[in-house]
Structure 1
Amino acid sequence: MTNNRNAPIADPSEPAAKFTYLSGFANQHQSEAIPGALPADQNSPQRAPFGLYAEQLSATAFTEPRAVNRRSWVYRIRPSARHPPYTRIDNRTFRSAPILDGAADPNRLRWNPLPDSWPGGDFLDGIYTIAANGSALQRQGIAVHIYHATETMRSRYFGDADGELLLVPQRGDLVLHTEFGKLAVGPGQFAVIGRAVRFRVELLGARAVGYLCENYGSPFDLPELGPIGANGLAHARHFRYPVAAYEDLRETVQVVQKFGGNLWSAEYDHSPLDVVAWHGSHAAYVYDFRHFNAMGTIGFDHPDPSIYTVLTSHSDTPGQANVDFVAFPARWNVSEHSFRPPHFHRNVMTEFMGLVEGAHDSKAEGFVPGGASLHNMWAAHGPDRETFDRAGAAELVPQKIENSLAFMFETRWPLVVTDFAHAAPHRQPDYDHSWADLPHRFAPPI
């Protein structure tokens, strides 16, 4: 067995000069594990260097506009076509849209973190679907999952042909071994693995827990900045991409593919992570929330959460995203004459929220790191009684929100909750009580 598993990991602390970037975020990315493995002029030369095979991964249709076209050329030890048939395997608690064993629930729902006693396994075995919308077959909508892993994926690999995967770790550091190289990601960061990109997940501790958005629709991209101008939100130079690394294994491994909402498996006699060099615009990347330049109001009123959008997946209706990935990192709150926490509201968009650390500014208790909430479209929600009373009496001096990281997946369609997530013992049955004791305050003039 030969490999180069000790190849470098792309780390957010590395200087930006070491990397070039993907189209949609900038221009182009390229990397080679062996100098000279990347052809200098042609994508598919008559003979690729070192006996490698040239192969193209096309993540968009060939004729889509250049600005959104995503594809990569890889130069690998064996072509991807060299594999035996796939056979169906158990989906376990991994579900896809359309959800058949669930319901679109108009009620406000909230879950506690998964208990430590939750069944273990590797990353793939530990994916637990909360809800989904759209259709994996129609390439629209999303699924929202929790992952819980207690084992490293060894001799086991996964690729999701239904959608790209956005991982938000809440507990435990990971190394993502992908076809394009290695990425380190942990709490305070997130990673995106492109559609159908194969990978395995290595744990750097005893347990890893986090959130997972499976995006069936258009690939995540940076939102337009509009009147914000050039310097707000997330910027291309802070996204990190893998340095090429390959596994030249000659042993039996399991490769699992998600396709059409189901899991399929085949036994390979080699690792699928055998790309020695690559260039293009479809891969995997990681981002550190510390680089996010949060915007806010310096006048009055609470800003809409859309101003905190990190990435967006566009739909066919401008302004109504297939999904927006929104983050609430450390920031200043300085609005005057205003109710500063998120106000009471009903929304045409559906909001799934998670908490990586700290507390969220609209909830005094009940929403803790590792927990989650779902407010389907038009579900009325807002601050609980304690937050409302405290915010209404607070001295409105500049306030720094620190040691807190919440995020939201906001989508244009209602999310259908799986039966097992709805019946889960860690779902809070009394979430409605958050608003039950808001008093009658109306006092008309006599």
Structure 2
Amino acid sequence: MPKIHKKLTLALVVNAALLSTTLHASEQSEAKGFVEEAKGSVLFRNGWIYRDRTDGRQDTNSWGQTAIVKLDSGYTQGLVGVGVGVLGDFSFKIGQNNKAGNQMLNMIDGKSGRDQWTRGGANVKARISNTTVVYGTQYLQLPVLASSDYRLTPEYFTGTLVTSREIKNLELTYGHFTKDQDVNQISSDGNHLKRADVWGASYKFTDALSGSYFGSKLKDALERHYLNVNYKMALDNNASLTLDASGYHTKYDASLNSPDPSKRILSYPTGSAGTEKKNNLWATSATYNQGPHTAMLTYEQSTGNVGYDYGIVGDGGATLAVPNSFFSDYNGNSEKSMQALYSVDFGEFGVPGLSWTTAFLYGWNIKVDGQTSKGKEHELFNQIKYTVQSGFAKNLSFKLRNSTYRTNDAYKSYAGDTSDWRGFIEYTLNF
């Protein structure tokens, strides 16, 4: 482990010991016990993806069922509390799925894999004051290392995560991970993660203003930094306007852009092969909310000598905390993109539990190897979701989404014209 990260971990622990009695209530002092605060859940998820593709390309179609288990003990009482946890899933495919290939189901060497499969692991945890340390299998939601959960099953990481909240409104984070298991992989290190170190801080300046910084270093792969500022202002008539700015700076190791095209990992490298690549991806958004209505406008831009890539070397299939990401991620080399989104909650119109979201995204100015003209893409997104509000099926949810996606000829090699359909039925049983 690098010396700077060892020092940061030590600083977090010392921070907990020195500040626990002087600043605000200690979480550990309120621990009720290993068994008394234990909790668990099973998420039953039925997932389906169908991609209708043009230009003679084969459509893909996958359908499966999973049960995702999460069990967590409470913390023992005392100065240092300890506990354990379990994460895992059991899944099986429905139907033949001969045209699978969109990460929904287990795949082996690019072909349909097992009919049923089981994954998961355990973790141990300790807490002193308001600082926790978790070691083992984990589901992460850090902007520089985030587990994908957009398919049938979630992505898991193995390693250590330290979170400290000793100072009011400030949260410090440090993590060290050595394994990454993607959503359709059975191996606990299917993405061959060598080592990932992450660190960061989030601070709430006022009730309206917050900000965060996170960084990550993946051995022989990349270094990434993330910044975010969010400001929410109250308006008349119970309305609000939220202004958000976020961005990444990523430096990719030269080995990812191998001179041998068959060994290249980056999606659309430009310039000389075998050289270090850099990308800056930033976005701004304005979101207006009034009652059941939400509208958002965004602008996003990518600069550097390569596009923003993620999920390529164990850095997480959801490591993209910017708004322009639906079927496409609008993260191409030098790409500029805009989005207009509208969402409505029909609860105030007599149908509680029903919501609808629609968005239009347009991207342009994309540099692509071997193309003299710039790439363009656009997408129309629609999603409808309903959650049962009462009765024996309370909290059972149904979600159906569609993206109609189109590109110009210069960008056909990315995904091509596609109609992407996804349907999910979910029910969570809490213990």
- TM tier, shorter chain? under 0.3
Q: TM-score, normalised by structure 1?
A: 0.26
Q: TM-score, normalised by structure 2?
A: 0.27
- Greater strand share, 1 or 2? 2
Q: Which has the higher contact order (CA 8 A, sep 6+)?
A: 1
